[in-house]
């Protein structure tokens, strides 16, 4: 599939071409799963984030879910001698632990797997999302200003985050996380050059 106007568009349109009538004939369970391997090459041409971001996401979500686990444990201990409780002892913290394993180990891995970005001459293109996959084109001339930021976790791994501000509402802040700091600064400088040179 060749997309002239939109680089990278068509990453969802994978697998066999299905007409609407096909959809109407068969229940959804028979539709082919649209997987990454079937995606057009544009997805693979785009850049991945730095792999360390997985650890940072795990740390951050681990902290929150750790708090959740402690709360669940306290609730469980308080209700230990409660005879009319709905769940037996240990089920609630156990569920939280399972939840933790999913969110802390699995989800960051998937998030990393499906994150791609590419800086092209006139636009920045982003693909991201595990459950809800989103493809965004940010035209460079729409950029209002740029931030490079680094929090404590990111500083530990020498990563940074590029935040692109536009005048839009939902996309007033487009965040590109998990870049090596020098990569973030390089991207920023390149975008900056396009914005400021445009006038000349």
Q: Which residues bind another protein (CB under 8 A)?
A: 3-6, 9-10, 12-13, 17-18, 20, 23-24, 28, 31, 33-34, 122, 129, 131-139, 141-152, 155, 160, 165-172, 174, 181, 185, 188-189, 192, 195-196, 198-200
CB of 173 to another protein, least distance (A): 10
Q: Which is nearer to another protein, 48 or 185 (CB)?
A: 185
Q: Which is nearer to another protein, 96 or 159 (CB)?
A: 159
Contact 161, 184 (CB under 8 A): yes
Q: Which is nearer to another protein, 77 or 95 (CB)?
A: 95
CB of 122 to another protein, least distance (A): 7
CB of 52 to another protein, least distance (A): 16
CB of 133 to another protein, least distance (A): 6
Residue 65: Cβ within 10 Å count: 19
CB of 114 to another protein, least distance (A): 11
Contact 146, 192 (CB under 8 A): yes
Compute the chain's Rg from CA coordinates. 22
Q: Cα separation of 105 and 21, whole Å?
A: 40
149 phi/psi in degrees, rounded to 5: -130, 165
Q: Which is nearer to another protein, 52 or 166 (CB)?
A: 166
Q: Which is nearer to another protein, 51 or 129 (CB)?
A: 129
Q: Copy the structure tokens of residue 86.
A: 């709905």
* 21 burial via Cβ count (<10 Å: 0-12, 13-18, 19+): exposed
Q: Strand pairing partners for 176?
A: 162
């Amino acid at each position: 599939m060749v997309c002239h106007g939109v680089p990278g568009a068509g990453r969802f349109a994978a697998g066999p071409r299905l007409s609407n009538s096909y959809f109407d004939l068969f229940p959804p369970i028979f539709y082919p799963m649209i997987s990454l391997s079937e995606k057009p090459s544009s997805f693979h041409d785009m850049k991945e984030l730095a792999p360390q971001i997985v650890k940072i996401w795990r740390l951050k979500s681990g902290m929150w879910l750790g708090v959740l686990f402690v709360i669940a444990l306290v609730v469980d201990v308080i209700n230990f001698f409660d005879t009319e409780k709905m769940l037996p002892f240990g089920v609630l913290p156990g569920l939280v632990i399972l939840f933790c394993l999913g969110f802390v180990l699995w989800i960051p891995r998937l998030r990393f797997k499906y994150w791609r970005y590419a800086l092209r001459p006139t636009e920045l293109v982003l693909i991201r999302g595990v459950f809800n996959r989103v493809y965004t084109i940010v035209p460079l001339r729409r950029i209002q200003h740029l931030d490079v930021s680094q929090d404590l976790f990111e500083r530990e791994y020498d990563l940074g985050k590029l935040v692109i501000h536009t005048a839009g509402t939902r996309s007033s802040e487009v965040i590109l996380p998990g870049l090596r700091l020098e990569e973030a600064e390089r991207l920023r400088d390149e975008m900056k050059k396009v914005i400021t040179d445009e006038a000349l």
